[in-house]
Amino acid sequence: MQSLASPYALLGAALAGALVVSAQLYGAFSPPPPVMDLPVFCDGASREIRPGESLRVLIWNIQYGASTKHQFFYDGGEAVRVERADVDWTLDQIVQTVQELNPDLVLWQEIDVGSDRTARVDQLAELTRRLDHRCYASASYHRVPYVPHPSHEPMGRVDMRLAVSGNLRLTDARRHQLALLDEPWWRRLFNLRRALLDVRVPIQDGRTLRLLNTHLSAFSFGDGTLPMQLGQIRDLAEQGVRDGEAVLLAGDLNALPPGDDPARFTGQDRELYADVGSPIAALYDSPYLKPSVPPERVARNPRPYYTYVPFEGEPDRMIDHAFVGGPVQVLSHKVWQDRKDISDHFPILLKLRVGP
């Protein structure tokens, strides 16, 4: 005969279950630590950089593999989620483009891993497998079990990441938490937590190339968050240079280059760049860092350096940037503007020489 559990046992089980659920929710919604070690995945086919070797590095915000045929809600449209066919097509085009450009390393922004809005596709696994990248590391910067926004079609589960991948050996990956938007705590529970992915690539002479990959806040509207984030990444990059490392700092910085007056925009586009002065001057003026393309060259002829494409518009701004410091030289900087249908950002292809 089966015995019935006592009311105390049932109450204890219920409390234990509630504690487990509370712990899981706290872990899912609580802010990550300031610095967090991350796993690096490499196989035996990866290699180290040869001193003096020329490297091709691609920097690309892929708009979470959703293509540009939809106008998303944060850009004034209605779209939130896309069909699996759209994701598959976009990944096909990304793979084709990367294979054509043939980089040694890729610094990715906005890679979705199992997000509801992109049909739960693990884009990092798909891209590294199809590109035969032997090494990769990633850091989440929007990871929430359920986002109830927007009201007409909630985003649901989201996991968006920064990543570095390629066939060079990667080591010592870390995630650095960046300043958060000045907003209520309940919004912070569900919003992006901007971060910097910090990865080292060994050089055969014992030194390292330090890759700092990031995507800074787009909708701070002059609340001071962007200057704080730029100061944080500048400090990390400069410390790497002082430590004798070759440093590449790159990504979608959501900041106009010095001299580009945001007054040329209208409406929300102007408000996006409402910070006083030029926040990115903190990087351009650094004594330890050099931009991959001189600002005076951009000022003379900005069109070839535009990296962002508005929905159904033409490229109109440079908000993706790269900086180097220490024993590394930029041989060329090219914005690959051939395709507007893959992402709202064009990839940047850098050719670098590491070492003497």
Q: Is residue 22 over pLDDT 80?
A: no
Q: Both 2 and 59 in a single domain?
A: no
Q: Both 39 and 26 in a single domain?
A: no
Q: Both 284 and 349 in a single domain?
A: yes
Q: Into how many domains does the chain fold?
A: 2
Q: What is the pTM of this model?
A: 0.92
Q: Both 81 and 141 in a single domain?
A: yes
pLDDT band at residue 27, thresholds of 50, 70 and 90?
low
Residue pair 56/351 in contact by the 8 Å Cβ criterion: yes
Q: Both 20 and 53 in a single domain?
A: no
Average pLDDT, integer, range 46-58: 94
CA distance 101 to 221: 35
Query: CA angle at residue 202 from 198 to 203, to 5 degrees?
Result: 135
Q: Is residue 21 over pLDDT 60?
A: no
Kindly report the average pLDDT of the chain as a whole number.
91
pLDDT in tens, 158-210: 999 999 999 999 999 999 999 999 999 999 999 999 999 999 999 999 999 99
Q: Both 195 and 314 in a single domain?
A: yes
Q: Both 143 and 174 in a single domain?
A: yes
Residue type, 293: V
Q: Which domain holds residue 9?
A: 1-30
Q: Both 71 and 112 in a single domain?
A: yes
Q: Both 259 and 170 in a single domain?
A: yes
The CATH number covering residue 293 comes to 3.60.10.10
Q: Both 16 and 128 in a single domain?
A: no
In 3D, which of 175, 238, 240 has the Cα closest to residue 207? 240
pLDDT at 15: 52
Q: Both 233 and 120 in a single domain?
A: yes
Q: Both 110 and 95 in a single domain?
A: yes
